[in-house]
Amino acid sequence: MNRRIGSIVFFAGVLLLALLALPVGASSDQPLVLNFDIRAVEPGGSDYAGTVTGVVNGTVEVRHMCSIRSNNKTCQTVIYEWIVTGVDGKSFTAVTRGQCNHKIGVMRLWGDIANGFRAGEQIAARARLYDAGAGHYQGRLIIFGQLESKEGPVPLRPSLE
């Protein structure tokens, strides 16, 4: 009986050590986060350039593709193309759409990575305006991966089209 208990304790210890040896955050379902700092390319313009840090370190270009101003002139539906060039070869292009609230200086965008690193996965962008004169935004890009259900991919947000 003591031998059996000793074997159980031994295997439990080995299992615990194996679990502790796993890298934290190694799961593929964990979101990947990139911090960005962008400024308008031209004063008052809608195209931006800056840097990204996090799972990808490098530069980012944000190209304005389309916008529709709401009736209250505070919110705007926008579409942006994000071109991220990583110094470590992790580069990608994503197209996002969402809302820009000029009154409180917040952008919330959703979309997909069109090509490159993590192509086909879903991405969200959250940004806050820090200097309206310079068009200076800081925020995060969050790569969620391909969310699946029994019916297929799950969009982060209903389509705005």
For residue 79, the one-letter residue type is I
Predicted pLDDT of residue 19: 42
Confidence of residue 65 (pLDDT cuts 50, 70, 90): very high
In three-state secondary structure terms, 89 is coil
Q: What is the rounded CA–CA span in Å between residue 139 and residue 108? A: 10
How many CA atoms, within 13 angstroms, populate the side-chain half-sphere of residue 72? 8
- Residue 42 pLDDT > 50, yes or no? yes
- Indicate the pTM of the whole model: 0.74
Domain ranges (residues) in the chain: 25-153
Q: What is the rounded CA–CA span in Å between residue 69 and residue 28? A: 38
Predicted pLDDT of residue 158: 43
CB 102 within 8 A of CB 109: no
Task: Tell me the per-residue pLDDT of 95-124, one tens digit each, with 9 for 90 and over.
Answer: 999 998 878 899 999 999 999 999 999 999
